[in-house]
């Protein structure tokens, strides 16, 4: 038997020894200082937003990927939905209602209304519920929260582009040549985009705290289809109401779409357009303001 | 070297709970409040005071500093404010008062697999999760192979993760997180996942991260992991900073904060009337037959277990788990070790005795947990006791204390 006289050798350096951390000094180069304080309106917020632009792409990409997984016809859904709606609108408003179509084929008139409306309504409901459905992200990771509703607007925008392709096919089918001012089309797309984004921000931020909006949004969408000139032309509205009517930003957007794409008798009521523009601007500005104001508490209330 | 990268000053976080009505602030209440607002002054001041009281300070006046390259552990019991602290540090929520300044890029891991989407494939989720954790696409592409290799799910990369086993899911999630390269890493309990082997791998990876000179903040209940990783610990208690010191002394304080009966225990309440197995009395008895909570390290001792079975329960067993002062489970012994007769416990009172040899234990304080249960199914009864093994100084035991390991078995050595 060996006497275990000196037990103090050996094992210290074993398992425990390998886990002693050398405090290296190699990491001191150009560090950015971050200050966290109550109510601090971070100046770096917009810079952060830029830094997280990739996350923005990724979230939009995720939503697009997931959207039609395990569906039978897949992307075709983004064509089928507007197609059927246009069909119904044409039959109901055009055939039965005998609404004026301003010289254009009724399906084209309806599609020009449907295209921005569908974009607006789906963007509104998607971005409205986006924060709540991503609550696991919000309570576990930091990033500028604005990324979430913005990326869901993008998702709906892709559907919009697909449907726009359908509009081009319809134009060819009916042999309608858009007027020269069709170059202004992107302006109205941008207006539609801004309207959806602004309204989406409001709904998203409100829904975090008040889940009531989950019930309000489908109602707005359903109601909006009739108070926006989707299935009919906005000039059927009595002229003394037109300014008030134009407070609905989609009025400006849809009128603009028809003016650009169909031209002819579809003229823009400019004072109304100005009102719509102002309404959209106010919506986006106030949406961002309210969102930024409540954003800090999202993780606590969600 | 002594450069502070994180400075936390007087940090507090207040949550409003209850708020007189349900937590869910319904829209109706806003409307209600708007209508009621003009009549608010009618409400008695006492009621108003009551409303103010319903707030909860998750953190109060916490201050500390973290130096470049430190691995700081944050421990505390449930509700001590650890998670709140991490959430504030990772900018998920705002503090109510106080200030934090952080130098460097922070990445926080409060959960593995945040943002994993079940419908997406493993490959897609690596990119998505990476982006969520703050990696750029280029960075993810560069590390993609490494991540896949670490996660051991190569074969299933193009399968939606909803078809993954939970183990695969967690491995993939941790693999992405493990390849983050921020200057400051904040981690919460992520080690509580996966099988033991994978946990060891994760721990190893975190060690590597720390050795790379990065600053790590680590929250855990797992004392063994904390002890292995952290050089310094912060002990939070009820939202306050209770202790900020080197690892061994904080762990000591943390574990000794819990007090159990020393050596003996007798049931004070009546035996429950439901079917099961319940303890009546437990005692540690030394070699001279005395019931005690302190034993000499050279003594032999036994544990007496008196219990009652109110029904015949198949596969019921009595187990004792020994946990040492570092929070590490030393071993578990169970009545199933005695094969003949104990597998079916008949109705009535029983008395088991288990014989131990104190030389088997390094000296120190132990936590004994007695469980009456059917393994993996039902837990009938659970009792905690504490036991101290005191060094009584023979050469053999003195030497033994310098060895690493949670038990001191004596094996036979020969020279041939």
Distances (CA, A) of A21 to A82, A279, B188, B243: 62, 60, 20, 22
Angle in degrees, CA B283, B289, B292, rounded to 5: 45
Give yes or no for a contact between B277 and B246, defined as CB atoms under 8 angstroms apart: no
Q: Which of A23, A28, A62 sits opposite B128 (nearest CB)?
A: A62
State which residue of chain A sits closest to B92, comparing Cα positions: A142
- Comparing alpha-carbon positions, the chain A residue that sits nearest to B72 is A21
Closest Cα partner for B320 from B308, B343, B337?
Answer: B337
Q: Is the pTM of this model over 0.90?
A: no
Inform me whether the pLDDT recorded for A290 exceeds 90. yes
Which chain A residue is nearest to residue B126, measuring alpha carbons?
A58
Judge: A31–B104 Cβ closer than 8 Å, yes or no.
yes
CA angle centred on B20, ends B15 and B24, rounded to 5°: 65
User: For A27-41, A243-257, B119-133, which range has the lowest pLDDT when averaged over its residues?
Assistant: A27-41
Which residues of chain B lie closer than 8 angstroms to A21, CB-CB?
A: 69, 71, 207, 210-211, 231
Q: Which chain B residues are within 8 Å of A141, Cβ to Cβ?
A: 90, 92, 108, 110, 114-115, 132-133
Chain B residues with CB-CB distance to A58 below 8 A: 127-128, 131-132
Nearest to B413 among A1, A7, A209 (CB): A1
**Residue numbers of B between 329 and 368 with CB closer than 8 Å to A:** none
Q: Are A22 and B211 in contact (CB under 8 A)?
A: yes
Q: What does the pLDDT read at residue A2?
A: 36
How many CA atoms does the CB half-sphere of A91 hold within 13 Å? Answer: 5
Task: Say which of B67, B127, B404 has its CB closest to residue A11.
Answer: B404
Question: What pLDDT does residue A40 have?
Answer: 66
Q: Which of A171, A134, A141 is nearest to A155 (CA)?
A: A134
From A79's Cα to the closest Cα of chain B, the distance in A is 23
Rounded Cα gap, residues B298 and B312, in angstroms: 39
Query: What integer pLDDT is reported at residue B404 of this predicted model?
Result: 74
The confidence score (pLDDT) of residue A300 equals: 83
- Tell me, what's the pLDDT at A10? 30
Please name the member of B88, B207, B214 whose beta carbon is closest to the beta carbon of A27.
B214
Question: What do you get for the CA distance between the two ends of chain A, in Å?
Answer: 69
Instruction: Name the residue of chain B whose CA is nearest to A302's CA.
Output: B24
CB contact (8 A) between residue A142 and residue B1: no
Please check whether residue B232 is in contact with residue B70, taking contact to mean a CB–CB distance below 8 angstroms: yes
Residue with more model confidence, A281 or A71 = A281
Beta-carbon contacts of residue B150 (< 8 Å; ≥ 6 apart): B171, B175, B178, B179, B201, B205
Q: Which two tokens stand for residue A180?
A: 């020269």
DSSP A64-107: HHHHTTT-SSGGGHHHHHHHHHHHHHIIIIIIIS----TTS-HH
Please answer yes or no on whether A19 and B228 come within 8 Å at the CB atom: yes
Name the residue of chain B whose CA is nearest to A35's CA.
Answer: B101
Question: Would you tell me which residues 225-254 of chain B have a C-beta closer than 8 angstroms to some C-beta of chain A?
Answer: 228-229, 231
pLDDT value at position B2? 57
Chain A closest-CA separation from residue B267 CA (Å): 41
Tokens, residue A135: 């609550």
Size of interface A-B (CB pairs under 8 A): 171
**DSSP code string of B170-236:** HHHHHHHHHT---SEEEEESTTSSS-HHHHHHHHHHHHHHHHTT-EEEEE-S-HHHHHHH-SEEEEE
Between chains, do B92 and A24 touch, taking CB under 8 Å as contact? no
**pLDDT tens-place string over residues A153-211:** 998 999 899 889 889 999 999 988 888 889 999 999 999 999 999 999 999 999 998 88
3-state secondary structure B49-92: HHHHHCEEEEEEEEEEEEECCCEEEEEECCCCCHHHHHHHHCCC
Regions of chain B short of the pLDDT cut 50: 1, 19-24, 395, 397
Contacts of A29 (CB under 8 A, 6+ apart): none
CA B96/CA B409 separation, integer angstroms:
53
Closest residue in B to A36 (Cα) is B100
Query: Which pLDDT does position A27 carry in this prediction?
Result: 34
Distances (CA, A) of A205 to A45, A73, A133, A198, B392: 17, 34, 12, 11, 67
Yes or no, beta carbons of A37 and B133 under 8 Å apart: no
* pLDDT for A282 beyond 90: yes
Measured distance CA(B215)–CA(B228) in Å, rounded: 15
**Residue labelled with tokens 């084209």:** A108
Distance CA A124, CA B345 (A): 65
Q: What is the mean pLDDT of residues A79-101?
A: 85
**Is A23 a residue whose pLDDT tops 50?**
no
- For residue B204, what are the CA distances in angstroms to A16, B32, B109, B154, B342? 12, 56, 17, 21, 41
Q: Tell me if B389 sits within 8 A of B364, measured CB to CB.
A: yes
Lowest-pLDDT range of A72-81, A242-251, B232-241, B319-328: A72-81
Least confident piece of the model among A23-27, A33-37, B361-365, B412-416: A23-27
Instruction: Name every chain B residue with its beta carbon within 8 A of the beta carbon of A15.
Output: 404
Q: Give the residue-averaged pLDDT of A76-82.
A: 83
Contacts of B122 (CB under 8 A, 6+ apart): B151, B153, B156, B157, B158, B159, B161, B164, B172
Report CB contact under 8 Å: B211, A21: yes
Average pLDDT on A139-145 reads 87
Burial class (CB in 10 A: 0-12, 13-18, 19+), B64: middle
Tokens linked to B368:
């004994």
Nearest CA in chain A to B31: A210
């Amino acid at each position: 038997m060996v006497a275990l006289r000196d037990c103090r050798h050996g094992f210290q350096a074993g398992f425990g020894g390998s886990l002693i951390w050398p405090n290296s000094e190699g990491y001191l180069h150009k560090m950015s200082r971050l200050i966290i304080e109550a109510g601090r309106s971070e100046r770096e917020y917009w810079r952060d937003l830029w830094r997280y632009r990739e996350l923005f792409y990724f979230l939009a990409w995720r939503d697009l990927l997931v959207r039609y997984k395990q569906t039978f016809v897949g992307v075709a859904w983004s064509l089928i939905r507007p197609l059927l709606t246009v069909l119904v609108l044409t039959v109901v408003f055009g055939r039965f209602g005998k609404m004026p179509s301003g010289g254009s084929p009724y399906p084209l008139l309806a599609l020009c209304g449907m295209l921005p409306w569908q974009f607006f309504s789906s963007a509104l409901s998607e971005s409205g519920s986006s924060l709540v459905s991503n609550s696991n992200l919000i309570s576990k990771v930091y990033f500028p929260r604005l990324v979430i509703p913005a990326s869901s607007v993008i998702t709906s925008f892709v559907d919009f582009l697909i449907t726009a392709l359908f509009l081009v096919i319809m134009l060819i089918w009916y042999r309608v040549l858009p007027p020269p001012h069709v170059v202004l089309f992107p302006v109205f797309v941008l207006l539609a985009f801004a309207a959806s984004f602004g309204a989406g921000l409001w709904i998203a931020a409100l829904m975090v705290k008040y889940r009531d909006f989950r019930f309000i949004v489908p109602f707005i969408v359903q109601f909006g289809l009739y108070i926006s000139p989707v299935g009919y032309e906005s000039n059927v509205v009595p002229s003394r109401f037109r300014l008030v009517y134009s407070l609905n930003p989609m009025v400006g957007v849809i009128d603009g779409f028809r003016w650009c794409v169909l031209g002819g008798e579809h003229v823009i009521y400019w004072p109304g357009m100005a009102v719509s523009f102002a309404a959209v601007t106010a919506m986006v500005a106030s949406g961002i303001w309210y969102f930024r104001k409540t954003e800090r508490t999202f993780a606590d209330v969600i | 070297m002594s450069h502070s990268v994180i400075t936390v000053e007087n940090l507090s976080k207040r949550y409003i709970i209850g708020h007189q009505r349900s937590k869910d602030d319904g829209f109706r209440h806003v409307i209600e409040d708007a209508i009621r607002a003009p009549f608010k002054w009618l409400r008695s001041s006492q009621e108003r005071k009551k409303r103010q009281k319903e707030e909860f300070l998750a953190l109060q006046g916490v201050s500390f500093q973290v130096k470049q390259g430190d691995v700081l552990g944050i421990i505390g019991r449930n509700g001590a404010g650890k998670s709140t602290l991490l959430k504030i540090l990772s900018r998920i929520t705002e503090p109510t008062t106080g200030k934090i300044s952080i130098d460097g890029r922070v990445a926080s891991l409060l959960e593995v697999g945040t943002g994993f989407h079940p419908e997406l494939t493993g490959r897609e989720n690596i990119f998505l999760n990476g982006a969520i954790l703050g990696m750029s696409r280029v960075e993810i592409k560069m590390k993609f192979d490494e991540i896949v290799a670490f996660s051991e799910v190569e074969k299933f990369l193009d399968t939606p993760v909803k078809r993954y086993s939970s183990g695969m899911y967690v491995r993939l999630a941790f693999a992405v997180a493990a390849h983050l390269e921020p200057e400051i890493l904040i981690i919460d309990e992520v080690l509580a996942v996966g099988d033991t082997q994978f946990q060891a791998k994760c721990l190893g990876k975190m060690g590597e991260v720390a050795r790379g000179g990065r600053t790590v903040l680590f929250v855990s209940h797992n004392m063994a992991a904390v002890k292995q990783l952290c050089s310094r610990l912060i002990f939070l208690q009820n939202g306050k900073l209770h202790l900020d010191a080197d690892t061994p002394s904080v762990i000591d304080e943390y574990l000794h904060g819990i007090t159990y009966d020393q050596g003996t225990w007798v049931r004070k309440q009546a035996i429950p009337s439901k079917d099961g197995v319940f303890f009546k009395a437990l005692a540690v008895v030394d070699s001279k037959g005395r019931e005690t909570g302190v034993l000499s390290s050279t003594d032999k001792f036994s544990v007496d277990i008196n219990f009652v079975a109110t029904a015949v329960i198949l596969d019921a067993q009595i187990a004792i788990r020994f946990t040492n002062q570092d929070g590490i489970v030393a071993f578990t012994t169970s009545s199933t070790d005695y094969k003949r007769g104990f597998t079916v416990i008949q109705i009535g009172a029983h008395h088991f005795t288990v014989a131990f040899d104190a030389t088997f234990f390094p000296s120190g304080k132990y936590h004994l947990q007695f469980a009456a249960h059917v393994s993996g199914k039902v837990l009938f009864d659970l009792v905690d006791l504490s036991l101290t093994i005191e060094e009584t100084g023979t050469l053999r035991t003195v030497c033994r204390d310098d060895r690493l390991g949670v038990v001191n078995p004596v094996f036979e050595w020969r020279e041939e």
